[in-house]
C-alpha cells in the first residue's frame, strides 16, 4: 500500500509541526540534516543497512553501511575542524558522482558549515562567479578538475583557503584529502543545531543570467523527509536511484538527503547515460524507486522499447520524473515500457523540495504536474500594478503559480541580494515565475516560464551568461542566446552573433567561436549552434528581444509569440532559474 493511500485525508490531517515529529531531532529542539540522514540510523536498527552503494564508471564498487558512512562523515567534519573552518563558512564541492562528494556534503552539514555543490561540467567563469559570491573557504575537487578549471582562478578567489584533492597527489597549494581523512578521528559529536542555521547554498540564475545563491537552512530536512516518503513513496528496504548530478539541487536534496533520512539504500552510478547500461543497472541493482529526468526518458525512447522489455524490471515499483514537463507521449511510452506510470513532479531551487506531484495512489493525468504536497497551499495568481496579487479561482486559466510562504525548505534569502529576495513575495505568497493552470479536479499544469531561461537536458542556463562569454572574443560585437527545441535535450543553446564591422562570417570562424565558448563556459553552458546576423532585435531601452528570436526559430509569424508559453521547450520545472 502506498505511504499516502488517501490524498485528501492526508491534506486534511497534515501539519508541518507534526511532520517534524517524524524525525528524531536533537536534545533541546535542535535539528541537523546529517543527524537525521545518517547518525540516528547508524546508532539504531539500520546500523548495518547499506546506505550508499556506489558503482564507478570502470566497474569499481564501494559500499557504505549507515555506521560506516557516519564514520566517514565524522572524519570529514574533524578535517574541517583541524583546518579552522567554523560554522556557517562555505565548503564547495566540485566533483562528479564519487563517494567523496557525498561524504563531504554530509560531513560539512554535521560540522554546521554551509555546503554548496558545483556542476563539474561548468567552465572556469561560471565556477568563479559562484565561488566568489558564495565566499568559498574550502573546495573539495579532483586533480583533473583543479588543474583544468580552478588553478587559473586561484588568484581571483582570495577567500579560498583550502583545496582538498580527493584522489591523491595534490598539486602545489592543495591538500591530500585521503591523508587528512586517514589521520582524522572517526568520532564526532554534532553540536546542537538551530533549525534556522544555514545549511545549503544552491545557485540559480535569473533573467539577467547572473547566478543567485539560494540559501536553505537545516529545517529543510523536514521537507526532504516528508517528500521522500509521500511524493517518492520511499519505504523500508527500498533501493533508490536518483540520476541527477549532485552538482544540482535535485542531486543533493533527493540524491543524498531525502532517501537517507528515510533509511533506504542509495544507489549511485558514476557513469553517464547509456540506455543499455541503465536498463542493466535497473535490473541487476534491483532498483525499486527511480527518480530521473525527461531528457533521459526521451533518450531511452529513441533507443527502442525492446531494451526495456528484455529486462526483468519487476522490482521497480515507482518511477518519478523532474526537471521539465514530461510530455504525454513519454507518459504513454512509460506505461508500455515499464507497465506503470511515470510520476511527474514540480519544484524549484528556491522551494528546496517537491511542492506538487503525482502520487503513488493518484490517477496520473498525462502532462500534469499533479497536486500540491500536504502542507503546501498553491494557487494561480495575477500580479497587480501595486505589487499585490489577485488569486484566480476560476479553473483552466493561465496565471502565475504561487505558494503560500512558510514551508520548512523555503529558501531564506538570495545571498547578497535581499531586495531581489523580497521581490519574490507578495501578500504572503511566494511567486514562482512559472505560468500554470489548475483544472477542475485540482491538478496543476505547467504552461511556461515568465523569463528567458534555457532548459537544456534539465540544466538551466542564463542567456546573459552565454552572451557574456562569447562577447569576450575579439571578433564579436553583439550576442543573443536562446533555447532551440531539441527532441532529446528539450532545448539546446543557440547564439545569434553580430560580428565586428571588419570581420567577415565564415564556417571557420563559427567553429572557432564554438570552441572558444566551450573552453570559456564549459560544455553544459556553451551554445551548440551559432548563427551570424547583421543585428539582433532589441527594445527601445536596449534589451534583447529573445522572445522574438524564439518565435522566428519556431517559424511563427514575425512578432507573434502567442503560442510560445505553451511550448515544451520553456524552462523550467524544478530548479527555477538555475540544476
State the chain's mean pLDDT as an integer. 90
* Strand segments (E) across 108-171: 114-118, 136-141, 162-165
C-alpha cell at 269: 552510478
Q: Are 400 and 431 in contact (CB under 8 A)?
A: yes
φ, ψ for residue 377, nearest 5 deg = -105, 115
What pLDDT score was predicted for residue 205? 52
Any idea which fold 454-566 has? GMP Synthetase; Chain A, domain 3 (3.30.300)
442: left (phi over 0), alpha (psi -120 to 50) or beta: left
Secondary structure (H, E, C), 384-426: CCCCCEEECCCCCCCEEEEEECCCCCCCCEECCCHHHHHCCEE
For the stretch 67-78, pLDDT in tens is 999 999 999 999
What pLDDT score was predicted for residue 542? 47
Q: Are 496 and 509 in contact (CB under 8 A)?
A: no
CA distance 387 to 384: 6
What pLDDT score was predicted for residue 559? 39
What pLDDT score was predicted for residue 373? 98
Q: Is the pLDDT of residue 313 over 50?
A: yes
3-state helix, strand, coil in the chain (%, to 5): 30, 25, 45
CA distance 579 to 574: 8
Q: Is the pLDDT of residue 423 over 70?
A: yes
What pLDDT score was predicted for residue 478? 85
**Structure-model confidence comparison of residues 324 and 92, the more confident one:** 92
What pLDDT score was predicted for residue 543? 55
Spatial CA neighbour of 445 closest among 366, 340, 501, 532: 366
CA distance 357 to 368: 9
What pLDDT score was predicted for residue 548? 84
Q: Computed over its alpha carbons, how large is the radius of gyration of the chain?
A: 23
Angle made by CA atoms 100, 323, 218, in degrees to the nearest 5: 50
Q: Is the pLDDT of residue 579 over 60?
A: no
What pLDDT score was predicted for residue 204? 79
Q: Is the pLDDT of residue 452 over 50?
A: yes
Which own/partner contact pairs does 437-442 have at CB distance under 8 Å and 24+ positions apart? 437/380, 437/395, 437/396, 437/397, 437/398, 437/399, 438/378, 438/379, 438/380, 438/395, 438/396, 439/365, 439/368, 439/395, 439/396, 440/395, 440/396, 441/365, 442/371
pTM: 0.82
Q: Is the pLDDT of residue 371 over 70?
A: yes
Q: Give the pLDDT band of residue 327 (cuts 50, 70, 90).
A: confident
Q: Is the pLDDT of residue 325 over 70?
A: yes
The DSSP code sequence of 287-323 is -SEEEE-HHHHHHHHHH-THHHHTS--TT--EEEE-S
Q: Are 199 and 220 in contact (CB under 8 A)?
A: yes
What pLDDT score was predicted for residue 460? 67
What pLDDT score was predicted for residue 574? 20
Q: Give the pLDDT band of residue 560 (cuts 50, 70, 90).
A: very low
- The answer to whether the 7-438 and 454-566 domains have the same CATH topology is no
Residues in the chain, overall count: 579
Domains of the chain, by residue range, sit at 7-438, 454-566
Q: What superfamily in CATH does domain 7-438 come from?
A: ANL, N-terminal domain (3.40.50.12780)
What pLDDT score was predicted for residue 541? 35
Q: Report the share of the chain in percent with pLDDT over 70.
A: 93
Angle made by CA atoms 128, 79, 252, in degrees to the nearest 5: 55
Q: Is the pLDDT of residue 451 over 80?
A: no
What pLDDT score was predicted for residue 536? 87
Amino acid at each position: 500500500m502506498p505511504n499516502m493511500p488517501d490524498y485528501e485525508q492526508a491534506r486534511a490531517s497534515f501539519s508541518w509541526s507534526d511532520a517534524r515529529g517524524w524525525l528524531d531531532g536533537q536534545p533541546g529542539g535542535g535539528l541537523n540534516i546529517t543527524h537525521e540522514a545518517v547518525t540516528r540510523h547508524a546508532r539504531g536498527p539500520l546500523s548495518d543497512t547499506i546506505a550508499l552503494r556506489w558503482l564507478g564508471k570502470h566497474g569499481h564498487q564501494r559500499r557504505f553501511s549507515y555506521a560506516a558512512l557516519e564514520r566517514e562523515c565524522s572524519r570529514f567534519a574533524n578535517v574541517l575542524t583541524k583546518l579552522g573552518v567554523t560554522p556557517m563558512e562555505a565548503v564547495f564541492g566540485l566533483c562528479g558522482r564519487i563517494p567523496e562528494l557525498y561524504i563531504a556534503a554530509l560531513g560539512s552539514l554535521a560540522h554546521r558549515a554551509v555546503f554548496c555543490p558545483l556542476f563539474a561540467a561548468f567552465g572556469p567563469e561560471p565556477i568563479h562567479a559562484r565561488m566568489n559570491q558564495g565566499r568559498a573557504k574550502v573546495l573539495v575537487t579532483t586533480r583533473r578538475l583543479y588543474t583544468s578549471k580552478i588553478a587559473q582562478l586561484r588568484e581571483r578567489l582570495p577567500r579560498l583557503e583550502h583545496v582538498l584533492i580527493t584522489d591523491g597527489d595534490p598539486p602545489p597549494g592543495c591538500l591530500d584529502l585521503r591523508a587528512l581523512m586517514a589521520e582524522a578521528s572517526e568520532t564526532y559529536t554534532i553540536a546542537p543545531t538551530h533549525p534556522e542555521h544555514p545549511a545549503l547554498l544552491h545557485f540559480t540564475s535569473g533573467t539577467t543570467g547572473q547566478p543567485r545563491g539560494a540559501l536553505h537552512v537545516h529545517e529543510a530536512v523536514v521537507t526532504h523527509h516528508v517528500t521522500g516518503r509521500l511524493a517518492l513513496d520511499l519505504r523500508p528496504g527500498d533501493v533508490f536511484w536518483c540520476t541527477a548530478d549532485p552538482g544540482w539541487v535535485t542531486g543533493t536534496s533527493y540524491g543524498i538527503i531525502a532517501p537517507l533520512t528515510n533509511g533506504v539504500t542509495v544507489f549511485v552510478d558514476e557513469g553517464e547515460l547509456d540506455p543499455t547500461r541503465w536498463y542493466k543497472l535497473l535490473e541487476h541493482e534491483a532498483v525499486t524507486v527511480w527518480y530521473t529526468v525527461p531528457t533521459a526518458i526521451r533518450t531511452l525512447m529513441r533507443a527502442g522499447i525492446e531494451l526495456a522489455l528484455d529486462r526483468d524490471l519487476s522490482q521497480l515499483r515507482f518511477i518519478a520524473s523532474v526537471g521539465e514537463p514530461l510530455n504525454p507521449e513519454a507518459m504513454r511510452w512509460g506505461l508500455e515500457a515499464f507497465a506503470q506510470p511515470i510520476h511527474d513532479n514540480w519544484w524549484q531551487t528556491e522551494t528546496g523540495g517537491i511542492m506538487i506531484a503525482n502520487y503513488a495512489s493518484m490517477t496520473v493525468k498525462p502532462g500534469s504536474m499533479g497536486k500540491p504536497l500536504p502542507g503546501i497551499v498553491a494557487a494561480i495568481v495575477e500580479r497587480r500594478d501595486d505589487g499585490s496579487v489577485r488569486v484566480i479561482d476560476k479553473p483552466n486559466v493561465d496565471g502565475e503559480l504561487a505558494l503560500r510562504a512558510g514551508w520548512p525548505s523555503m529558501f531564506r534569502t538570495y545571498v547578497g541580494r535581499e531586495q531581489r529576495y523580497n521581490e519574490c513575495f507578495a501578500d504572503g505568497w511566494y511567486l514562482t515565475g512559472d505560468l500554470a493552470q489548475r483544472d477542475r479536479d485540482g491538478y496543476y499544469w505547467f504552461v511556461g516560464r515568465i523569463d528567458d531561461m534555457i532548459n537544456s537536458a534539465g540544466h538551466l542556463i542564463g542567456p546573459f551568461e552565454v552572451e557574456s562569454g562569447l562577447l569576450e572574443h575579439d571578433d564579436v560585437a553583439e550576442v543573443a542566446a536562446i533555447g532551440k527545441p531539441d527532441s532529446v535535450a528539450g532545448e539546446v543553446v543557440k547564439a545569434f552573433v553580430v560580428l565586428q564591422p571588419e570581420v567577415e562570417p565564415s564556417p571557420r570562424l563559427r567553429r572557432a567561436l564554438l570552441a572558444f565558448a566551450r573552453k570559456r563556459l564549459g560544455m553544459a553552458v556553451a551554445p551548440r549552434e551559432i548563427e551570424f546576423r547583421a543585428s539582433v532585435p532589441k527594445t527601445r531601452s536596449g534589451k534583447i528581444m529573445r522572445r522574438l528570436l524564439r518565435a522566428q526559430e519556431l517559424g511563427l509569424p514575425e512578432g507573434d509569440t502567442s503560442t510560445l508559453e505553451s511550448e515544451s521547450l520553456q524552462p523550467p520545472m524544478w530548479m527555477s532559474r538555475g540544476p
